Structure 1
Amino acid sequence: MSREPIGDINLEMLKEFSEAHGISGNEKEVSRVMKKWIEPYADEITYDNLGSLVALQKGDKDGVKVMIAGHMDEVGFMVCDIDKDGYIKMLPVGGWWGHVLPSQTLVVTTREGKRYQGVVGSSAPHGLPKDVKEKVIHPTKLFLDMGVESREEIYELGIQIGDMITPDTKFTVMNNPNYLMGKAWDDRLCAAMVVDVMRLLHKEKHSANLYGVGTVQEEVGLRGARTAANMLHPDVAIALDVTTSMDTPMDKGVNGIGKGVVLSVMDAGIIANKNFLHEMEKICKDLDLDINYDMMTVGGTDADNIHKAHDGVVTMTLSIPTRYMHSHRLIIHRKDYWQTVLLMAEFVRRVDRDLLNKLKDF
């Protein structure tokens, strides 16, 4: 596999997206990052009432309305209790596996925006019974050690019940520069891809009205996708999200990072519009992009709610393989990012009323 960096990708943008802190319901910091990077390519920027960001790049007055969406929220925690000794109990926001948490550092963000580092407590292995060593501790049974003596010290820091807790992770270019590691790739990576699609197209004439959307609260029920789609009433939509990379000693399967475009055939909440799927296959062949497929029986994406908006929206998901999803550090590949951006940009160039009618023709 090539060690030459693939694609015209702004690493500073990816770093800012990855390192921003924003669990479901707390996406404001992330939306400001997205606004900063997408504003030069948008004619209008608006928000729905949940906080999803919508950037419009205008086409023809009667042009097809295309929505591409990546969600801005990340999995994390909320402060749910503070005991007398200053240990913080955490409520998961999104899915966490207890195995990935002990001894990891997390950051608590106060309502005033101050940040404090803590470490998830763990037991030393010496003398632990075998059944305890092999047991996965549920996240709600763990605690965050802030290095203080009492509850009063926690309050003095300004930490309160309901404050956001997120992984303490820095963006890293790996030893092969095509491999990028960071937190919140689920789904900040895809929010950044929305920016890049609009960047590629902003100096071109296209008939479609392109809505680049950063949705909120995906990890707790695809909520922002519903309100954004109902506000925009798009003709056609692409949801961008990550999928599990099955190329490690722990996970073995077909899809892995660095293989290019992944077309999602279905997941637990949507069956992709077949004509749309076939059109994307055609574009991939025309552009000499790699084609892979994803079929999930558990979990879903923003597409699950978008395609049910109003009287139905022609919708599908494009998937980006990611190692170690829903953990502190995820790894992705530049090839998958860039080929997917090229695919979406070309679709926007091509889509018109005739193609939309073709996609709708069952």
Structure 2
Amino acid sequence: MEQAIGDINLEMLKELSEAHGISGNEKEVSRMMKKWMNPYADEITYDNLGSIIGLQKGEEDQPTFMICGHMDEVGFLVREIDEQGYIRMLPVGGWWGHVLPSQTLVVTTHEGKRYQGVVGSSAPHGLSKEVKEKVIHPLDLFLDLGVANRAEVEELGIQIGDMITPDTEFTVMNNPNYLMGKAWDDRLCAAMVVDVMRLLSQDKHKCNLYGVGTVQEEVGLRGARTAANMLHPDVAIALDVTTSMDTPMDKGINGLGKGVVLSLMDAGIIANKNFIAKMEEICKDLDLDINYDMMTCGGTDADNIHKAHDGVVTMTLSIPTRYMHSHRLIIHRKDYWQTVLLMAEFARRLDNELLQILKG
């Protein structure tokens, strides 16, 4: 069996993965990120939407460098409670109906109490072929809390608008390089932000590094916009996951355990060409693997960051992930660690001279 790759804090990954925080409800996650970031940041602040910003100071009059991963996960809000006590749910972020029936979810009340329920499903006996082959729309599904009626739901303190999230434990898989959990999109990358700051805390660097956990990415990249306008960075990297194309369902080039993935473009950004070239150079210097990602649908925080003020030199680094926007996602330690090493080395090299090269 392979040995585990990289100096990765599994306790941090477990805490971030198991935290509950859909778009607009990221406070628990941001406080957790603050705990892990605090030893490596000179200052920690927030923007007015709730994105957390840790500053690791470099030298005055040197470039500002923003790296970010979003803290929100896909989930639901309580949309309706019927007389029998079943909860109808409003998706927050993209869900495919196939992944939901019979899965457990957790409702978090305004007071912070949590209650487990199961998404209802029909037994296959007697169902027509047409019904069996139909994907149920998430709005047509319901959460069963195991109560008798609506009054018992209200006794628990559950109200319309309360957050609903997947109920999943972090797991190290049978090969220790494969890690399974919920919310890897994008808590994995929030952890990477902390790890870059940890590595750089041991070195002097000229650039002023902003490690950012953004909010509300899944509903429109909102936190990236406010954070970038607040910080006005010279250079930025958005970290996000991409589909791992190495399963019987998804076939393609990129897969788990292949290392760094440079995103050339998506529906909202074409990466800065000079930035891509510099990252390729660093990968070769550090003997890191180089892969590429291109999407014509979907996007990342980079889509809003690069349009802030008069424009920001920006690109996305992608982390392949199996089973995105579901209860359980799988990632590989090699992809995580090589990407952290790449960003840390770029930060060490970033100065005013390199900034001018990037701007071309």
Q: Normalised by the size of structure 2, how large is the TM-score?
A: 1.00
Give the corresponding residue for 1:228.
227
Instruction: Give yes or no for the alignment of 1:207 onto 2:201.
Output: no
Once the two structures are TM-superposed, the CA of residue 204 in structure 1 deviates from its matched residue by: 1.1
Which residue is equivalent to 2:62? 63
1:353 equivalent to 2:352? Answer: yes
**Aligned ranges 1:67-78 → 2 under 5 Å:** 67-78=66-77
The one-letter amino acid paired with 2:355 is L
2:195 alignment partner, SS class:
helix
Which residue in the other structure is 2:241 paired with?
242
What amino acid does structure 2 have at the position aligned with 1:85?
Q
Q: Deviations over 1:210-265 (max 9, x none)?
A: 00000000000000000000000000000000000000001000000100000000
Aligned residue identity for 1:199: R
CA deviation after TM superposition for structure 1 residue 357, in Å? 0.4
Q: Which residue of 1 aligns with 2:99?
A: 100
Aligned to 1:84: 83
Matches for 1:305-316 after TM superposition, within 5 Å:
305-316=304-315
* Residue 117, structure 1, aligned to residue 121, structure 2: no
**Alignment of structure 1 residues 191-206 onto 2, 5 Å:** 191-206=190-205
SS at match of 1:326: coil
Q: Is 1:272–2:271 an aligned residue pair?
A: yes
Q: Kindly report which structure 2 residues correspond to 1:1-362, keeping only aligned pairs within 5 A, or say none.
A: 3-361=2-360
Cα distance between partner residues in 2 of 1:62 and 1:114? 48
In the alignment, structure 1 segments of 5+ residues that lack a partner are none
Identity %: 84
**Which runs of structure 1 show a deviation greater than 6 angstroms over 4 or more consecutive aligned residues?**
none
Residue segments in structure 2 that go unaligned for 5+ positions in a row: none
Separation of aligned partners in 2, 1:63 and 1:113: 43
Looking at structure 2, the residues matched to 338 and 113 of structure 1 have their Cα atoms a distance apart, in angstroms, of: 34
Structure 1 vs Structure 2 CA RMSD = 0.4
- Kindly state the Cα deviation for residue 292 of structure 1 after the two structures are TM-superposed: 0.1
Q: Quote how far apart the aligned CAs of 1:48 are.
A: 0.1
Aligned to 1:45, what secondary structure does the other structure show?
Answer: strand
Q: Number of residues paired by the alignment? A: 360
Q: CA deviation at 1:271?
A: 0.1
Shift of 1:62: 1.0
Distance 1:63 1:196 in 2: 22
For residue 224 of structure 2, give the secondary structure of its aligned residue in structure 1: helix
> 1:61: Cα distance to partner?
1.1
SS at match of 2:122: coil
- 1: distance between equivalents of 2:297 and 2:334? 26
**Partner SS, residue 4 of structure 1:** coil
Structure 2 letter corresponding to 1:110: T
Q: Which amino acid aligns with 2:230?
A: M
- The CA distance in 1 between the partners of 2:317 and 2:23, in whole Å, is 22
TM-score, structure 1 length as denominator? 0.99
Q: Separation in 1 of the partners of 2:266 and 2:316?
A: 9
